[in-house]
Amino acid sequence: MSRSIRIIYRSQQGRIRKNWNWDAITKRSAVLVTAAEWSAGRDPFDAEGRPNLGEANVYVTNIGPHDPEGGSGGVEFYLHVDWDSPLHVQVTITVFDPIEDFRVAE
């Protein structure tokens, strides 16, 4: 089973380190994080709006789920917004069932 949460980050630009604490996530979680430019609805201070497939490159790298560290578990990642001015960004975090196995390969 999977669970998802959607976050709107306002006025983002460049490469930004993010952390989202969520008790559904541990370091054994399989986590997917996606991002897209976001356009507000009629009220720019409301979460009503939609993804906007604009010209900016908006993406996520270095996704790292973590255990509770003095709080709840969560996920760290880098949000990249390649544009010459700040943009609003929609990020979706999806957590799946825990990974089944862990191996080290050469």
Go through 65-94 and write b for each residue having 16 or more CB atoms within 10 A of its CB, e for each that does not. bbeeeeeebbbebbbbbeeeeebbbbbebe
Give ∠ CA 32-24-91 in degrees, rounded to 5: 40
In the numeric block, the tokens 């630009």 are attached to 13
What global pTM score does this model have? 0.90
Residue with structure tokens 């993010």?
18
Residue type, position 12, single letter: Q
- Whether the pLDDT of residue 25 is over 90: the answer is yes
Q: Decide if 83 contacts 13 (C-beta within 8 A).
A: yes
pLDDT tens column, 67-98: 987 778 999 999 999 999 999 999 999 999 99
